[in-house]
Copies of this chain bind each other. A is one copy, B any other.
Amino acid sequence: MNTRKTIVWTKKDLLGLEYLSRQEIELILSTAESFKEVTTRQIKKVPALRGKTVVNLFYEPSTRTRVSFEVAAKRLSADVINISTETSSVKKGETLVDTGKNIEALKVDTIIMRHNCSGAAAMLARHVSASVINAGDGWHEHPTQALLDMFTLKEKLGRIEGLKVSIAGDIAHSRVARSNIWGLIKLGAEVTVCAPKILIPPGIEKMGVKVTNNIDEALAGADAVNVLRMQFERDQSNAFPKQLEYFKTFGVTRERLKKAKKDIVVMHPGPINRGIEMSSEVADGANSVILEQVTNGIAVRMAVLFLVAQANERLKNENTD
């Protein structure tokens, strides 16, 4: 605990957990703890970001993440501006950097960006002095999702260090998996990934994880399992037989959980495909913390918004000194 107190957040951006130290991740989680208390008050608002402007810049549709960030920013008293590509200048062929520089010229403080290209948030961050928060970039990272997963794990199990955590689903195309792996490994968890062979990216072992193609193996002895969403809607051909097959082979069911630790924590980033990656019984069962993850997302995003804003202000003051 003492180490945390001495750490100060100095980065203007949050781009991915790959780029953070263990201490920085712990600082976000402990800051989120204080903000979680705020969300239980009758008046759930604090003036921390009053007068600041936060832009949600979403190049992919996403209600859940956008709304979570919007609620978090408003609870910090920031002004929030939503921009989605459906209506944006992107249609007129503007480059990402030009869009970013134009948003920055509005004297905006923080840009939360989701983009379908890996590295988009990092590129934007290099070109603007506003803070950039990566809300998902291609298959690369989705750091606030992993942070809220870890926050929930720590809340449930008291620690991350030494935990056995399995991540099951389409690992190859999942930024949620990648951010969780970076974060969990840094905080000392043992991570196993589980998927059909074709959905395991080659060389994933180098990240320090074990690999299995057997869901029962992934569940056996695990303290927690993070079940990813299968995106069958992207390939409609024979979707139904494929979904049935996936559920039979990989679906997390009550029967399968019987062979796992009694208190195994079941997580899912949502939205759930009931009857595909997990059964409804599991999704709504005693081991599931899925809705608590959503609640914790607000506290974690408040923490991130607060820390990057504070760091950026310090940076700007140093530059003007």
Q: Which residues of A contact B (CB under 8 A)?
A: 39-45, 50-53, 55, 61-64, 66-68, 70-71, 74-75, 79, 81, 83-84, 86-89, 91-95, 98-99, 101-108, 233, 270-274, 291-292, 294-295, 297-298, 313
Contact = CB atoms under 8 A, between A and B. Distances in A.
A313 B107 contact: no
19 contacts: A41-B51, A44-B52, A44-B53, A44-B107, A45-B79, A53-B75, A55-B67, A61-B87, A63-B89, A66-B87, A84-B87, A86-B86, A86-B87, A92-B233, A93-B273, A94-B270, A95-B274, A98-B272, A99-B271
A93 B233 contact: yes
Given A67-B83, A83-B67, A106-B71, A271 B42 contact: no
* Residue among A45, A84, A103, A107 with most chain B CB within 10 A: A107
Given A61-B87, A93-B271, A106 B51 contact: no
A317 B109 CA distance: 38
A94 B90 CA distance: 29
Given A43-B51, A61-B91, 7 more contacts: A61-B87, A74-B81, A93-B233, A94-B271, A102-B270, A102-B291, A106-B294
B50 A107 contact: no
A64 B105 CA distance: 11
Nearest to A51: B43
* Residue among A51, A66, A102, A108 with most chain B CB within 10 A: A102
A185 to B, nearest CB: 28
